[in-house]
Structure 1
Amino acid sequence: MSDQPDAAAEKELRLKEAVEQAALPYAWKQTIADVDISVPVPVGTRGRDLTVVISSKKIKVGLKGQEPIMEGDLPSAIRVDESTWSLEDQKLVEIHLEKVNAMEWWPHVLTHHPKIDTTKISPENSKLSDLDGETRAMVEKMMFDQRQKEMGKPTSDEQKKLDMFKKFQEQHPEMDFSNAKLG
Structure 2
Amino acid sequence: MAEDLEKFDSMLLAMAQQHTGGVKDLIETIVSFLGRKTDFFVGGEPGAWEKVVMDAFRKQEKMSRSEHEAKIKERQDADKRIKDIAEKKKREREVQESKITEVTDDEADKLLKEIEEKRHEMKDEEPEEPAEEAPKDSKNDDDSDNDDPKEKGKLKPNSGNGCDFPNYKWTQTLEEIELRIPLSMTARPRDLCVVINRKNLKAGIKNQEAIIDGDFQHDVKVEECSWVIQDGRILVISIEKVNKMNWWSKLINTDPEIATRKINPDPSKLSDLDDETRGLVEKMMFDQRQKEMGLPTSDEQKKQDVLKKFMEQHPDMDFSKCKFN
Letter matched to residue 198 of structure 2 = S
CA distance in 2: counterparts of 1:96 and 1:66, whole angstroms: 22
DSSP-derived class of the 2:194 partner: strand
CA distance in 2: counterparts of 1:11 and 1:83, whole angstroms: 35
Instruction: Tell me: CA distance 1:127–1:64, structure 2 relative to 1, closer, same or farther (3 Å).
Output: same
Q: In the alignment, what sits opposite 2:155?
A: 17
Q: In the alignment, what sits opposite 2:122?
A: none
- The number of residue pairs the alignment matches comes to 136
Q: In the alignment, what sits opposite 2:215?
A: 73
RCO greater where, 1 or 2, for CA within 8 Å and sep 6 or more? 1
Letter matched to residue 240 of structure 2 = E
DSSP-derived class of the 1:17 partner: coil
Deviations 1:133-171 (A, max 9, x none): xxx3734899xxxxxxxxxxxxxxxxxxxxxxxxxxxxx
Q: In the alignment, what sits opposite 2:276?
A: 138
CA distance in 1: counterparts of 2:212 and 2:155, whole angstroms: 19
Structure number having the greater helix percentage = 2
Deviations 1:24-46 (A, max 9, x none): 41011111111101001123111
Identity, % of aligned positions: 30
Letter matched to residue 41 of structure 1 = L
Q: In the alignment, what sits opposite 1:98?
A: 240
Q: CA deviation at 1:11?
A: 8.9
DSSP-derived class of the 1:119 partner: helix
Greater Rg by CA: 2
Structure number having the greater strand percentage = 1
Please report the TM-score for the alignment, with normalisation by the length of structure 2: 0.37
Please report the TM-score for the alignment, with normalisation by the length of structure 1: 0.62
Instruction: Tell me: CA distance 1:117–1:137, structure 2 relative to 1, closer, same or farther (3 Å).
Output: closer
Instruction: Tell me: CA distance 1:40–1:11, structure 2 relative to 1, closer, same or farther (3 Å).
Output: farther
- For the 8 Å contact 2:200–2:216, the answer to whether it is kept is yes
DSSP-derived class of the 1:103 partner: coil
Unaligned runs of 5+ in 2: 1-132, 157-162, 281-325
